[in-house]
Chain A
Amino acid sequence: MDGVAQLQKQLVDYTASLFQEGFLDEQFNQLQQLQDESNPDFVVEVVSLFFEDSERLLNELAKALEQKTIDFRKVDAHVHQFKGSSSSIGAQRVQKVCIAFRNYCEEQNIEGCLKCLQQVKHEYSLVKSKLETLFKIEKQLIAAGGSIPT
């Protein structure tokens, strides 16, 4: 059971680091609380939904910003959606960048938007890798027969 305990510790530490570094916030905790026997994979499900949605949105955004005449309304709507979904899973840093992004959108600042898009992409990939790591550890833990500490 040493491995399990180690894994558990690793998981707790990792989660704590994610919170500390500001990748995640309280909302993620709420998500975890919502997960129970009836929805055992709720968090994974939601997060993967988020990934799918985010990738789609990022593509759309990239496409929209490549256009010669940029439809800022459309960009704004996308960012808004992105912001909503990221805040729902508690991806705090993505959400913050989204807020800045929207401000640039309102100003119709193309350079700012492009910069923000890069930032968003960066933050998104960061949070994605972090979450994937987290889930990997969880999976390992469950595979090892341990329970996820709450």
Chain B
Amino acid sequence: MADETHPGSCECSPTRSTPMGTPLRKVLDRISGFATPWRSSSALRGRRIFHRDVEREEFQYAATRCLSSYYSVFVARLAIMVMLAILIGLLTILTWHFTKIYTTKSLNSLAYGLRNELLQRPILRMWNILNSTSEITTAQVKLSEYVFRRYNKPDTQAEQVELYESMRDVTWALFASRKALNAITINYRNGFVQAFHRDHRSNNTFYIYSDLVNYSISASGSSYEINSLSSQQGWKDQSIHGNISAVWYQEPLDPITGEKTGKAKPIPPDDLINIAGLSEVPDGVASWHVAVSKYTDTPLLSAALPVWDPSNESIVAVVGVTTALYSVGQLMKELVEVHSGHIYLTSQEGYLLATSTNAPLLRNSTQGPKLMRAIDSDDEVIQMGATWLQRAYGNNFSQSHEVHAENARLGHEQYYIDSFFLKLKRLPLVGVIIIPRKNIMGKVDERAFKTLVILISASLCILFIGCICILILTNGVSKEMKLRAELISHLDARRRAEASSNYKSQFLANMSHELRTPMAAVIGLLDILICDDCLTNEQYATVTQIRKCSTALLRLLNNILDLSKVESGKLVLEDAEFDLGRELEGLVDMFSVQCINHNVETVLDLSDNMPKLVRGDSARVVQIFANLISNSLKFTSSGHVIIRGWCENSSSSIDIEKFPLDHKKSQPAHKIKFKQQGSHTKKACKKENKMILRFEVDDTGCGIDPSKWESVFESFEQADPSTTRTHGGTGLGLCIVRTLVNKMGGEIKVAKKDGPGTLMQLYLLLNAPADGTEQHYRVDFSKHSLVVLLALHGRMGRLIMSQWLHKSGVFTMEASEWNELTQILREFFCIRRSARNNGFDAQHSLSEPLNTQVLSIQDMRNPVFVIVVDIGLLDLSTDIWKEQINFLDIYFGKAKFAWMLNHDTSNAIKMELRRKGHILMVNMPLYKAKMIHILEAVIKERNVELQKKSSNALRTTKESNLHEYHEIDTTHFDVASSDDSDMPEMRSSNSICGSLDGEKRRERITKPCSSGYQNINNCLVELTRVYSKENYLTERDPCQVGHNSHDVQNEEPKCCTQASLSAEPQSENADCREQHLVSSCPTAQGNLYSSKAMNEQKSLEGLRILLAEDTPVLQRVATIMLEKMGATVIAVGDGLQAVDALNCKLSAEACERDCVCEDRNTRLQTENRDFPLYDLILMDCQMPKMDGYEATKIIRKSEAGTGLHTPIVALTAHAMSSDEAKCLEVGMDAYLTKPINYKLMVSTILSLTTRTAYVKRELTNQ
């Protein structure tokens, strides 16, 4: 067994190593393979990067890495599994080996003992039988000898008979004592035979004797004397012959007593039993042999001994004892019954003596029964065993040979075969025991087999489970590895993406800036071109179109720049005081032009608690709202756009009270949410003197899908992609808005809204003005007892206005169309008249709500009626409007009319209105500030009226004329000042605009001129103090008349104003060198600047430029260049001087008025100290003492509080964009490279001094 397992395990490892050999090779391959893909991929990478094929390469790289990690995991798994298999296999084999070997050994020794024991016992029995046989034989011999001695030499027949009798008794006694004996025979010398025979089968006992008659004493006596040899011969012959001839008798006996029970009957001799004769003992010693008998089926063991005569010279008789071997067989059977198996005994020759089976031992042949050889036995097992033994060991057993075979295969079973050699004198015996192996080792073998099976199956199971476990475990590990690899690659990709996005935004910033500069030049040049007279109409239209497109492009670039500025964190918000309300009004004015075209109403609804002044970046705030409003307008085809604003700083109760009515109704929920959101910020703000301004932009457009509420604020994102086609736009607007709002510490979101449209809610965190005095719009007109009739087309605007007026203590009535207006007017005034005449009786015809109003109005003493009429109420399509105005004439004396004009209201209507004496005209839309102005004008007029009751009618109209101008210009002033930074540009653009063709660009002229007028307006106030009013009016009249004669269209009062104003300062400037500047006077128009060359030559006319340049050469060159173009140049040597020059402008002013007074603007400057001293600064970047960057920073810082912005152009020899970025970072507006390019410089300066004005104008034109 042990030998078997070792080869097994030895065999095991080679067989395992063959499958292991392949994974090992694979591992090696992998390891070597790892290096190669890595190397090759890195090499590939290096090459591919030049191809900019990074993405694909990335992909491959990831794939190879993934594959390699997969392989490594696979190999690891395989190795672990193999190790596990080996371990479990070894364990199994060892367990099986130990259990099997020890049990087998011990069982083997036990079995050996058992077999020995088993075999020993029948042999012992055999031995016993032999012994007892020999003993009896000996005893019989001794007794016979004794009897013979007594009856020595019987002479007589009687004595002879007596001898025989006594012999018979003695023999019987012996025979009876031994039951196992088969027979005892005595053969006398004379041939007489005496025998006792026991038949075991029938259990009968017989006495057999021969007939005495035939035996004579003499004969017998004589025979005694024969010498031994001859006598023997003679004896033998006689006995043989005698026996044949003799007659034997058989006498049955009682087996116990030996008494005769039956009659003797004669039987043939030697028939029944074999009588041992003299021949059996030829040499006189005992002999053994195995005999067979006719009557027994077992072999018989017979022994024979001679009986010597007393003289011991001759043999007198032969005694034979026969024992049946039956009992041995019996014992064997018994033994085998208990232990199973087969036992048999053979003689040395191989004849069967006894078996444990019932198979016959004798073979019947013709000569009677004969002994059978073991090989021929009927019993199969014995036969096969004998055959096996014979085959294995041959026929000759050596004397001491014992065979112990354990695995003899007989038939289909295995047997143990053991044989013992029993050495007996003359009768050697061989005992063989055959036991089936099953009987002894059966259980053990079975168990061993079962154990093996169980072990193998268990180990297989464990192996299987182990493999699965390994698979699962390594699966987790491999997954983790994969995830980690993915994570790493993702991180890598993200880093790359971030870097690229960073590059992108930087690139965008640079690019858009690069593009902006040429764009500005393009626009500036286009403006110059537009001013040219020589253009045909088609050319003019084309150029205008180009200009529009350029402006749009510029706006887009600005947007991108803004966005990237904010994203890269470069945007720095200004912190300057500004009038938020005015800014928003300006915006609304601007957009209202678009609104009217769209049939959309723009309404500004600012709560009264809005502070008048706030600190922050006005330009950015305006940008936020401009974007929001334009966005709303873009998507609103009809309805309204409402901009609501209120301040959160005050307590909530006031907040709600002052909140516009409709808002309170529809949005309470949002407001609460809003408040919760901002509550903590609010606390923080109060400490830092900040306030939360909340705004809503509410439109009735197509709305935004709720799912897009967040994403609309992403860049290039539009709620509905299809809108791009219909509405255009880049999708940058809202993104800029959000970044700006966030930058200002606010938030913006789209809110839920009842009804169609979008509601944008935002709040901004702005600083309160430093002085802390809060100015509000809050006004109270209640003491003036005003009654306002709002005849306005737009519903929302009317509603909000009337609510506000009501709160301010003004009685309001509303009318939305002409008929309503007339009805109210008629009824109201009729009733009033009748009420005056007839008391309160005639009120029955009034409708109920009007009734109460009228009642309250009648309570007032001397009420003032103001009727605000939308020009849109008149039927402008036909000529009916004239009649309508005529109709209103009736009420002219009783009420003050204020007309709301559209921007496209035709001059004819305006003229007509003017002719009729309607002098209060304002442009749409109507918001609070305008309303306040209207009301204040009315009040003032009334006061004037009261004061000058004695004045004549002409005077009165003139007076009212003045008010008219005041009123209209106020509105324009709002626009112009809506962006403070526009101011210098506006003003400086005067000179250019002055050269524009008035007819073509009437719209354009109006604004700059009026802004200029604003300055002069102050001057006029002063003048009115100096000169008498009469004087002033008369001075103006001829101018107006003269102007009218020139141009019919210019009869419009605005242009008239311009004319008069331009004339005014000019007339005061006696020593004005540049006479052609009178161009602003219409009379001079068209004559001057007709040549383009001239235009370009003097394109910088009137500009004051500060040049900071340290290199004297360059300073001189630049100065000459600029002066050639008409600019006034003040040159300084370094940055410090430049800063000083700006700082001490006040002191400088005094002297400059004397020395540089040829500039016509000087006068304006001296009059308005808010304007910067210089229109533009050219700043060299590298200068001693203080370089350009530093100087710019200081200048910008000093400007911060004032709202001024002097354009600064960098002069640098560095032509790289990084320098440009640096320039822009410190606050410069543009940059020029050295050496100075003449044309580029001009266009840059022009674009900077006029750009903002153009953009503004462009918007208005749309």
Give A83 to B1112 CA distance when docked, in angstroms. Answer: 13
Which of B1111, B1112, B1124 has the largest number of chain A CB atoms within 10 A? B1111
- Whether the Cβ atoms of A34 and B1111 lie closer than 8 Å is no
Q: Can you list, as one digit per residue, whether each of B1110-1128 has a CB less than 8 Å from chain A (1) or not (0)?
A: 1111101100110010000
Which one, B1110, B1124, B1234, contacts A88 given CB within 8 A? B1234
Give A90 to B1182 CA distance when docked, in angstroms. Answer: 20
Segment from A39-47, A128-136, A140-148 that makes contact with B: A39-47
Within 8 Å of chain B (Cβ to Cβ): is A53?
yes
- Whether the Cβ atoms of A88 and B1120 lie closer than 8 Å is no
- Whether the Cβ atoms of B1117 and A88 lie closer than 8 Å is yes
Within 8 Å of chain A (Cβ to Cβ): is B1235?
yes
- Whether the Cβ atoms of A85 and B1120 lie closer than 8 Å is no
- Known: A34-B1124, A87-B1235. Contact between A49 and B1182, CB under 8 A? no
Chain A neighbourhood of B1112, CB < 8 A? 49, 52-53, 85
- Whether the Cβ atoms of A89 and B1113 lie closer than 8 Å is yes
Within 8 Å of chain A (Cβ to Cβ): is B50?
no
Distance in Å: Cβ of A24 to nearest Cβ of chain B: 12
- Whether the Cβ atoms of A84 and B1234 lie closer than 8 Å is yes
Within 8 Å of chain A (Cβ to Cβ): is B102?
no
Which one, A30, A50, A77, contacts B1182 given CB within 8 A? A77
Within 8 Å of chain A (Cβ to Cβ): is B1213?
yes
Within 8 Å of chain B (Cβ to Cβ): is A80?
yes
- Whether the Cβ atoms of A34 and B1121 lie closer than 8 Å is yes
Within 8 Å of chain B (Cβ to Cβ): is A119?
no
- Whether the Cβ atoms of A46 and B1213 lie closer than 8 Å is no
Chain A neighbourhood of B1110, CB < 8 A? 81
Give A83 to B1234 CA distance when docked, in angstroms. Answer: 10
Within 8 Å of chain B (Cβ to Cβ): is A27?
yes
CB-contacts of A55-96 with B (<8 A):
77, 80-81, 83-85, 87-90
- Whether the Cβ atoms of A34 and B1117 lie closer than 8 Å is yes
CB-contacts of B835-872 with A (<8 A):
none
Chain B neighbourhood of A4, CB < 8 A? none
Distance in Å: Cβ of A52 to nearest Cβ of chain B: 8
- Whether the Cβ atoms of B1120 and A39 lie closer than 8 Å is yes
Distance in Å: Cβ of A46 to nearest Cβ of chain B: 5
- Whether the Cβ atoms of B1235 and A85 lie closer than 8 Å is no
Chain A neighbourhood of B1184, CB < 8 A? 77
Chain B residue with minimal CB distance to A86? B1113
- Whether the Cβ atoms of B1120 and A84 lie closer than 8 Å is no
CB-contacts of B972-1019 with A (<8 A):
none
- Whether the Cβ atoms of B1113 and A46 lie closer than 8 Å is yes
Chain B neighbourhood of A42, CB < 8 A? 1120
Give the size category of A's interface with B. Answer: 20 to 34
Chain B neighbourhood of A49, CB < 8 A? 1112-1113, 1116
Which one, A27, A45, A53, contacts B1111 given CB within 8 A? A53
Which one, B1114, B1121, B1124, contacts A84 given CB within 8 A? B1114
Chain B residue with minimal CB distance to A56? B1112
Distance in Å: Cβ of A51 to nearest Cβ of chain B: 10
Chain A residue with minimal CB distance to B1118? A88
Chain B neighbourhood of A80, CB < 8 A? 1182, 1213
Within 8 Å of chain B (Cβ to Cβ): is A137?
no
Chain B neighbourhood of A30, CB < 8 A? 1238
Chain A neighbourhood of B1236, CB < 8 A? 88
Which one, A34, A39, A53, A77, contacts B1113 given CB within 8 A? A53
Within 8 Å of chain B (Cβ to Cβ): is A31?
yes
- Whether the Cβ atoms of A84 and B1213 lie closer than 8 Å is yes
CB-contacts of A1-43 with B (<8 A):
27, 30-31, 34, 39, 42
Chain A neighbourhood of B1213, CB < 8 A? 80, 83-84, 87
Chain A residue with minimal CB distance to B1187? A77
Chain A neighbourhood of B1234, CB < 8 A? 84, 87-88
- Whether the Cβ atoms of B1111 and A88 lie closer than 8 Å is yes
Which of A45, A80, A81 has the largest number of chain B CB atoms within 10 A? A81
Distance in Å: Cβ of A48 to nearest Cβ of chain B: 10
Chain B neighbourhood of A53, CB < 8 A? 1111-1113
Chain A neighbourhood of B1116, CB < 8 A? 45-46, 49
Distance in Å: Cβ of B1110 to nearest Cβ of chain A: 7
Distance in Å: Cβ of B1133 to nearest Cβ of chain A: 12
Chain A neighbourhood of B1113, CB < 8 A? 46, 49-50, 53, 84-85, 88-89
- Whether the Cβ atoms of B1111 and A81 lie closer than 8 Å is yes
Chain A neighbourhood of B1121, CB < 8 A? 34
Give A30 to B1116 CA distance when docked, in angstroms. Answer: 13
Which one, B1114, B1124, B1182, B1238, contacts A85 given CB within 8 A? B1114
Q: Can you list, as one digit per residue, whether each of B1200-1244 has a CB less than 8 Å from chain A (1) or not (0)?
A: 000000000000010000000000000000000011101000000
Chain A residue with minimal CB distance to B1233? A87
Give A81 to B1183 CA distance when docked, in angstroms. Answer: 9
Q: Can you list, as one digit per residue, whether each of B1229-1262 has a CB less than 8 Å from chain A (1) or not (0)?
A: 0000011101000000000000000000000000
Chain B residue with minimal CB distance to A77? B1182
Give A114 to B364 CA distance when docked, in angstroms. Answer: 147
Distance in Å: Cβ of A56 to nearest Cβ of chain B: 10
Chain B neighbourhood of A27, CB < 8 A? 1235
Give A34 to B1118 CA distance when docked, in angstroms. Answer: 10
Chain B neighbourhood of A85, CB < 8 A? 1111-1114
Please, could you name 28 A-B residue pairs with CB atoms under 8 Å apart, sorted by A? A31-B1117, A34-B1117, A34-B1121, A34-B1124, A42-B1120, A45-B1116, A46-B1116, A46-B1117, A49-B1112, A49-B1113, A50-B1113, A52-B1112, A53-B1113, A77-B1182, A80-B1213, A84-B1111, A84-B1114, A84-B1234, A85-B1111, A85-B1112, A85-B1114, A87-B1213, A87-B1235, A88-B1111, A88-B1113, A88-B1117, A88-B1234, A89-B1113
Known: A27-B1235, A88-B1235. 16 other contacts (CB 8 A): A30-B1238, A34-B1120, A49-B1116, A53-B1113, A77-B1184, A80-B1182, A81-B1182, A84-B1111, A84-B1114, A84-B1234, A85-B1111, A85-B1112, A85-B1113, A88-B1111, A88-B1113, A90-B1235
List chain A positions with a Cβ less than 8 A from chain B: 27, 30-31, 34, 39, 42, 45-46, 49-50, 52-53, 77, 80-81, 83-85, 87-90
